[in-house]
Chains A and B, each alone.
Chain A
Amino acid sequence: MSPLRRDTYPRLGGAGLHNARRLARLVLCAALLAPVPDTVCAFTITISNGPPKTVYLQVGVGGFIGQYNTGGTPANNATVNQESVSVAAAAVGNGTAQAMTTDSTVGASSYDGFVRCNVPAQLYIGGFYRTPGLGATGSATVTAIVPAVLVDTGGDTLSFAQISWTTGGNGDSGAEPFPAGTFSAGVVQTVGSIAQNQWAESCWTFSYSNTTFPAAGTYAGRVLYTLAAP
């Protein structure tokens, strides 16, 4: 208590009387508050954000059993789909991009069955990322491990950088989670992302740029797509 307050509100009675009143007040307050004490007796359940993060990625044919909106569940599918194009001899190297097509038969979204992609022109890519803790760990990232070249049976090569893709599907609006791009030969490149607790899907249309004169042959290479959660 400051000297000013002590002068302004002098105590009635001596120090002993004051202390007795103070003690009585404390006892009264304690008695009033005692009926619901702190959680001295309380069982506890320990919870954590322990459940593993859940990710699912489908490029082309996927492993989802059923559809998400009807209680489907994700599963594995070992199918490797192809994108291909045959370039007429007269057109080789003329700089006119050649549309590629997929052998995937999946055009419908695994999310709700809506026909998002038009096969065989478009390749479906979609997935989801589940994680507790909003905004704490960022998005899941889809990367492509791209070989440097495609190779034919004779050992001739063709750069993967000759292959590009556009993006977009039926009914889409706004930015695509898996945007357009061109393969970067021989590197691991990011091709899209999935925000936390969201489903994402796009349709890719691949094309061969056709700006070189490779030896005649069938060139093949495999790109591996990976979804990684932080």
Chain B
Amino acid sequence: MRPVPRLLLLMVLAVAVPADAKTTVIDDSGTLPYDAPLVLHWEQLSPRRPVNNRMTGTLTVRVKLHVAPWLRRRGRIHLVLPAQQPGAMNASWSTQGRLLAGRVSSGSRSLVYSGLITTPFIEDVLQLTLEVDGTQLRQLYHVNFRFEMDEE
């Protein structure tokens, strides 16, 4: 690789992450269950027209976010549903108030907290509903979520 293109590559990488925005994945290893099985069922049992092939399921997730690194600082926490198999998905959740309820589609994220971090851990209980295109389900899938911290 020539020296000049190498510099350009570094510049491109540099501009991709603005200097004032720092996003960090939050340690949520205290979340239970951490690898939860979810039973899906048809949203529409019989295939009425227009045919709705979505499958959905709801489970309870006890979220525990380790936010000690940002203690006494302001931050914005997002729940991320990365684009992954089995394709397009939607997740929605209700909370007990510590975090914000919301909805997210695969490949995007949704704000669940904004403000001062006052405790080492943020905990809440989410009723998480996942919606998947049933025609895409061919095997067992591990759907990954993550929480991201945007420091203000």
B145–A42 touching, CB < 8 Å? yes
B148 pairs with A68, CB closer than 8 A? no
CB closest chain-B residue, reference A48 = B140
Task: From the candidates A44, A72, A111, A128, name the one contacting B34 in the complex (CB within 8 A).
Answer: A44
Say how far A13's CB is from chain B's closest CB, in angstroms.
12
Residues of A within 8 A of B47 (CB): 128, 130, 197-199
Segment touching A, from B68-76, B95-103, B116-124, B130-138 = B130-138
Q: Are A46's CB and B40's CB within 8 A?
A: no
Q: When the two chains form the complex, which single residue of A28, A40, A69 contacts B10, counting CB atoms closer than 8 Å?
A: A28
Judge whether B112 is part of the interface by a CB distance below 8 angstroms. no
Main secondary structure of the interface of A (DSSP, over half): loop
Could you say which of B26, B128, B135 contacts A133, with CB atoms under 8 Å apart? Answer: B135
**Which A residues are in CB contact (< 8 Å) with B145?**
42-45
Q: How far is the CB of B17 from chain A (nearest CB, A)?
A: 6
Q: Which of B29, B39, B130 contacts A51 (CB 8 A)?
A: B39
Q: Is the interface of B mostly helix, strand, loop or mixed?
A: mixed
A-B residue pair count with CB separations less than 8 angstroms? 148
Q: How far is the CB of A37 from chain B (nearest CB, A)?
A: 6
Chain A 6-32 against B: per-residue CB contact (8 Å), 1 yes, 0 no?
A: 000100000000000000010011001
Specify which of A45, A49, A69, A74 is in contact with B139 (CB 8 Å cutoff): A49
Would you list 27 pairs from A and B whose C-beta atoms are within 8 A, ordered by A residue?
A25-B10, A35-B23, A35-B24, A39-B146, A40-B25, A43-B35, A44-B35, A44-B144, A45-B36, A45-B37, A45-B130, A45-B142, A47-B37, A47-B38, A47-B132, A48-B40, A50-B40, A51-B41, A51-B55, A74-B46, A128-B46, A130-B46, A132-B135, A132-B137, A134-B135, A197-B134, A199-B49
* Chain B residues engaging chain A, CB cutoff 8 angstroms: 2, 6, 10, 13-14, 16-17, 22-29, 31, 33-42, 45-49, 51, 53, 55, 57, 59, 61, 63, 82, 86, 128, 130, 132, 134-148
